[in-house]
């Protein structure tokens, strides 16, 4: 990373002078840094334009940062959300030809590892999730949000890669990794297409969802539970958030509190199956794409390879019920 270019962007667009950038581990889409400066401490995401998957994430910034700002005005949610920092001109991010920068207020704390939530944290997560799902997004003050259309735009590319008929090829190593799973990948792709058609004909209620509510997006901060990474926020079936919880040991405790806050809610089996399968296939596609097109080396190559192999290994082991 060109640190001097990043420092220049911080000065020009945020008025942050003489910052010290300290790398923060974690994250699959951008480099993370703690920014220490006379103006304050911040968390910085740096998205590199040289990666093929970057646009998949950066194109969402202008949509989800305004929604996150609105959510911070909701009394049951504010304490559990990160605070995005706008540029001096009021923009949600800044950029140059090589990178896109996204800035937040710094939150001291640690990401919760290995699905290890204490009972009180489980109850908090359930209440916060229910509060999010109970919001009235028809409010004139709510920024425009995307609505679930049960699309899977990545599917033609994934199927084309498996058939060696796309406009780029999987690397030989990735082909070898994927070969034992090709039959299962095709089966899941067919099932996803069937579920798409059924759900588009349904009239499922849509609620505001985080869409990526797993443990690596949860942080403990002085006794508060913080939910990070709101890139995917949209109106969708509640199962889009619940799918990350339902196979965990505390699923029943979570659902007990969640349903107290949302009486009458019942899981829809087809919606749950759709969102689980779509997420698995989309993750596999993203890692295949990165490993075939992006200039990954050393630890970044190894990490993405491990993530792809883990995703392939978990295919066919999905949970579609409460543990």
CATH for 178: 3.90.1200.10
On whether both 159 and 221 belong to a single domain, the answer is yes
- Shared domain check, 294 and 270: yes
One domain, residues 94 and 227:
no
**Comparing C-alpha atoms, which of 291, 309, 286 is closest to residue 232?**
286
User: 295 and 183, same structural domain?
Assistant: yes
3-state secondary structure of 98: coil
Predicted confidence at residue 28, as pLDDT, reads 66
| CA 246/CA 244 separation, integer angstroms | 6
Number of domains in the chain: 2
Distances (CA, A) of 49 to 16, 27, 102, 130, 309: 23, 16, 14, 36, 25
Kindly state whether residues 188 and 321 are assigned to the same domain: yes
Shared domain check, 59 and 133:
no
By the 8 A CB rule, do 52 and 293 touch?
A: yes
Q: Determine the pLDDT at residue 26.
A: 61
pLDDT of residue 321: 66
Does 112 share its domain with 94? Answer: no
In terms of domains, do 215 and 259 share one? yes
Are 212 and 239 in a shared domain?
yes
Rounded to the nearest angstrom, the gap between the alpha carbon of residue 269 and the centroid of all alpha carbons in its chain is 22
| Domain region containing 46 | 1-74+82-106
Quote the pTM value.
0.90
pLDDT at position 171: 86
Residue 4 has what pLDDT? 92
Burial zone of 131 (CB within 10 Å; 0-12 exposed, 13-18 middle, 19+ buried): middle
pLDDT digits (tens, 9 = 90+) for 85-124: 999 999 999 999 999 999 999 998 888 766 678 899 999 9
Q: Are residues 23 and 125 in the same domain?
A: no
| CATH number of the structural domain spanning residue 60 | 3.30.200.20
Does 44 lie in the same domain as 130? no
- Positions of the chain with pLDDT under 70: 26-28, 113-115, 321-323
Q: Decide if 154 contacts 281 (C-beta within 8 A).
A: yes
Strands annotated E in the chain: 20-24, 31-37, 40-48, 84-85, 94-95, 99-105, 110-111, 207-209, 218-221, 224-227, 234-236
Clarify whether residues 100 and 115 are in a common domain: no
């Amino acid at each position: 990373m060109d640190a001097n270019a990043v420092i220049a962007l911080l000065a020009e667009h945020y008025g942050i002078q003489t910052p010290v950038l300290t790398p923060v581990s974690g994250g699959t889409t951008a480099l993370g840094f703690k920014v220490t400066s006379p103006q304050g401490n911040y968390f910085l995401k740096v998205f590199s334009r040289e990666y093929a998957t970057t646009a998949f994430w950066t194109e969402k910034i202008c949509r989800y940062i305004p929604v996150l700002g609105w959510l911070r005005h909701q009394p049951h949610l504010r304490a559990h959300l990160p605070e995005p920092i706008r540029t001096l001109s009021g923009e949600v991010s800044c950029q140059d030809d090589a990178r896109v920068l996204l800035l937040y207020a710094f939150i001291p704390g640690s990401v919760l590892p290995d699905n290890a939530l204490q009972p009180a944290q489980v109850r908090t997560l359930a209440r916060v999730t229910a509060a999010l799902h109970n919001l009235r997004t028809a409010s004139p003050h709510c920024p425009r949000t995307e609505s679930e259309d049960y699309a899977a735009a990545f599917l033609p590319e994934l199927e084309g890669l498996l058939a060696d008929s796309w406009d780029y090829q999987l690397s030989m190593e990735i082909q070898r990794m994927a070969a034992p799973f090709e039959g299962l990948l095709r089966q899941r792709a067919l099932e996803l297409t069937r579920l798409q058609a059924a759900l588009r004909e349904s009239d499922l209620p849509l609620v505001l969802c985080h869409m990526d509510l797993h443990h690596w997006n949860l942080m403990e901060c002085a006794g508060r539970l913080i939910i990070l990474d709101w890139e995917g926020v949209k109106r969708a079936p509640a199962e889009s958030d619940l799918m990350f919880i339902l196979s965990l040991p505390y699923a029943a405790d979570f659902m007990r509190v969640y349903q107290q806050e949302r009486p009458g809610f019942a899981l829809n089996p087809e919606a749950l199956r759709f969102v689980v399968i779509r997420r698995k296939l989309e993750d596999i596609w993203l890692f295949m794409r990165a490993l075939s097109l992006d200039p990954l080396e050393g630890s970044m190559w190894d990490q993405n390879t491990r993530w792809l192999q883990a995703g392939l290994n978990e295919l066919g082991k999905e949970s579609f019920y409460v543990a």
